Chains A and B, each alone.
Chain A
Amino acid sequence: MGAAISVRNVSKSYSLNQGGRFVALGNVSFEVRPGEFLVLVGPSGCGKTTLLDLIDGLSLADGGSILIDCVPVKGPGLDRGIVFQQYALFPWKTAKGNIEFGLEARGVPKAERAARAAHFLDLVDLADFGDRYPHQLSGGMKQRIAIARALSYDPEVLLMDEPFAALDAQTRERLQDETLRIWRQTGKTIVFITHSIDEAVYLGQRVLVMAAGPGRIVADIAIDIDRGADDLRATPEFVALRHRIWQLFHPEATAAARVVRDGVRQSTASEESRAS
């Protein structure tokens, strides 16, 4: 079972070259239950990667705390695995070698690595591609190897930073389904980042909507939909949730629609009064 994550009053700013500081995250708090599939969705530049790096321990927060099963994060650890948008596979290692790298980090004895790597290659459906180098794999295959590598050292939490954003639509949908399958099969806690509302609603049990300036969470939405439905994306529940999040993304668009509507109402009223 995956671990629980607590993010409490976390803030992070970057110093700028021209002096001063840029606040990337201001006072962010949320909780993730063990084994939950949480999606963070927000427009580009709202601080999603910054937040995920903090959870992974690749950088440290200026204020607040992050706890994994009640233990504060002080740096990277094998209790968390991360998958990046640009795959980040080691080009000098084969697919199998990349997965074994994760096992080696975990301290798995050499003799056991090959068998465990084969298991994870199988989990991502690439059993026959273990000897390929990354440049011999398609984008989707590379990302599956990266997922296998992150899972190989058996972390309790899997962090995914827009992992499918660079893939074509068909591959993306296929990998979304594979991610859900792996999540159900392994019971990991997943924190998944995306800027795609569609992807957020499709994958998440719960979606946190982020906004920029400074990066913060503006809504926490439970996704209660029947995942057994065919063509889930076309169901009214899916469309309604999608639209609700879209409105949160575009507060100005919603406001503008109101102005137009109100404006029309006002001008009709004034014409009526003139006519009378």
Chain B
Amino acid sequence: MSTSVDRLVEASGSSGPGHFARRAARLLRGTVAIFAFLAAWEILPRLGLVDTTFLPPFSTALSAFVEMARSGELVEHLAASAGRAFSGLILAVAVGVPLGLVIGWYRSVAEILNPLLELFRNTAPLALLPVFVLMLGMGEVSKVAMVFYACLWPILLNTVSGAREVDPLLIRSARSMALSQTRLFTRVVVPASLPSIFTGIRIAGAYSILVLIAAEMVGAKAGLGYLVNYAQFTFEIPKMYAGIVTLSLLGLVLNEVLVLAERRLTAWKGDA
């Protein structure tokens, strides 16, 4: 705690001569494992250590990637998937956060809803995939609904625990200032729950892609899950790998966006 002041000083004085070298070293440390992995992917098939039919070298996948990017095929699938993942995630935030805050803060609501929440939370979303297809068909609605459903639980449960575990001393402090119940909720409970809410949203971000891909593999006419599955089916293996790489990139970008948003909105927590 007491050293945070020194840390601030250090951070503001970080433009010295050693600064560039330190950054370069950090960048190298952060990427060396990835380069090693890609090198292995390139070399092992070329040396004949793995069958190139099933695992073509990285450069082959990369040229398939570039080819598809140029033809617009990749963008089409990427846009379809990203759109579904985002819509589902945003809907889940819009429903899960307010609902979680109310459940967490108002004990009586929690008592009534808890058993139901426990039941749903322990039902794997993928187990319900056929149900969603049955009821909502194979179109966009069922996919977005699937993502929404999978994302709702981590957001809801983390928000509930955030609202339930607000430091009682902060509540006492606010109550002593004669704050009304409503203002206590909006001005204290909501901000105090933010870190937990973000933990939920980050977990949900990872779920959204996982569940979406599964849904797209089961039945779709566009999307990265469809692309990967279809390419495998028609034996266009480099294309399949290009789809998989795009998927990881989408996941990475989504996570990075969520981490940045979290850092910005909970900067007050300090070096978290």
Contacts and interface: CB of A to CB of B under 8 A. Distances in A.
Contact of A138 (B1, B170, B179, B194): B1
B171 to A, nearest CB: 9
Given A135-B270, A136-B270, A88 B172 contact: yes
Nearest to A57: B176
B269 interface: yes
Q: Looking at chain B's contact residues, is the secondary structure mostly helix, strand, loop, or mixed?
A: helix
A130 to B, nearest CB: 14
B211 to A, nearest CB: 32
B178 A76 contact: yes
A138 B2 contact: yes
B178 A88 contact: no
Interface string B185-205: 001100110100000000000
Contacts, number: 64
B4 interface: yes
Interface residues of A, number: 28
Interface stretch (A40-48, A90-98, A111-119, A188-196): A90-98
A133 B4 CA distance: 11
A81 B191 contact: no
Contact of A78 (B5, B178, B187, B269): B178
Interface in A108-130: none
Interface of B: 1-2, 4-5, 8, 169-170, 172-173, 175-179, 187-188, 191-192, 194, 266-270
Interface of A: 56-58, 75-78, 80-82, 84, 86, 88, 90-94, 101-102, 105, 133-136, 138-139, 153
- Return the 7 tightest CB-CB contacts between A and B, nearest first: A88-B173, A105-B177, A135-B270, A92-B191, A92-B268, A88-B169, A133-B268
Given A105-B178, A135-B1, A135-B268, 6 more contacts: A77-B178, A84-B172, A86-B169, A101-B187, A138-B2, A139-B1
